[in-house]
């Protein structure tokens, strides 16, 4: 893979959002608003909220997950830095792998970039294995292609087991748009 530079801007990107602490649905909605407020970024679409069991470390509350499709003038590294800053602002602590979290923001896809360098691998290396990413991703972008792996729909198996939409009024509310200059 190459270094994570390039791409004509603005770029299309997909971000996974997840939480299982401190009113998780509210945390995901607040994080979506923070994502929309990033400079030179706007939310194009957002999935429903989905409830699912934890992966990896099972002794923790269930998660609320969603995916947002954004357009941004931030570089891939700039966007990752912004996502990490949002996590920090929400009080995210990284005590151990797969630990409970107030918010988790993962950069899934950035344009058609395939790369691996310090701190950033694109596309997200495990996204194609996770129903809690694929189901909301395909809801908002049914034709999306995972760079280097092919259509996302080809990776969705019967792994929907344990993934349930959460009833809310999220779709009824307009997305808060950031400024794409």
Q: Please work out, in degrees rounded to the nearest 5, the angle formed at the alpha carbon of residue 89 by the alpha carbons of 87 and 94.
A: 45
Q: What residues contact 61, with CB distance under 8 A and at least 6 apart? A: 20, 21, 24, 54, 100
- Which of 106, 112, 117, 168 is flagged as catalytic? 106
d(Cα 110, Cα 52) in Å, to the nearest integer?
Answer: 25
Tokens of 38: 């990033």
Contact 108, 127 (CB under 8 A): yes
Q: Is 104 part of the annotated catalytic residue set?
A: yes
Q: Is 169 part of the annotated catalytic residue set?
A: no
Q: Is 40 part of the annotated catalytic residue set?
A: no
Q: 46: which strand partners?
A: 68
Three-state DSSP class for residue 38:
coil
- Which of 42, 46, 104, 130 is flagged as catalytic? 104
Q: Is 101 part of the annotated catalytic residue set?
A: yes
Q: What is the largest CA-CA distance in the chain?
A: 44
Ramachandran angles phi, psi of 76, nearest 5°? -55, -45
Give the active site residues: 92, 101, 104, 106
């Amino acid at each position: 893979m190459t270094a994570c530079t390039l791409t004509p801007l603005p770029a299309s990107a997909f971000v996974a959002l997840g939480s299982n602490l401190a009113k998780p649905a509210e945390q995901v909605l607040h994080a979506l608003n923070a994502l929309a407020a990033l400079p030179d970024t706007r939310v194009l679409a957002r999935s429903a909220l989905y409830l699912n069991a934890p992966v990896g470390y099972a002794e923790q509350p269930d998660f609320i997950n969603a995916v947002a499709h954004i357009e941004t003038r931030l570089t891939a590294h700039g966007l990752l830095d912004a996502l990490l800053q949002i996590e920090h602002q929400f009080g995210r602590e990284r005590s151990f792998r797969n630990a409970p979290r107030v918010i988790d923001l993962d950069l899934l896809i950035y344009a058609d970039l395939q790369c691996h360098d310090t701190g950033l691998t694109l596309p997200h290396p495990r996204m194609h294995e996770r129903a809690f990413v694929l189901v909301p991703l395909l809801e908002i972008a049914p034709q999306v292609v995972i760079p280097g792996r092919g259509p996302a729909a080809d990776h969705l198996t019967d792994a929907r087991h344990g993934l349930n939409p959460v009833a809310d009024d999220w779709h009824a509310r307009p997305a808060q748009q950031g400024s794409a200059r």
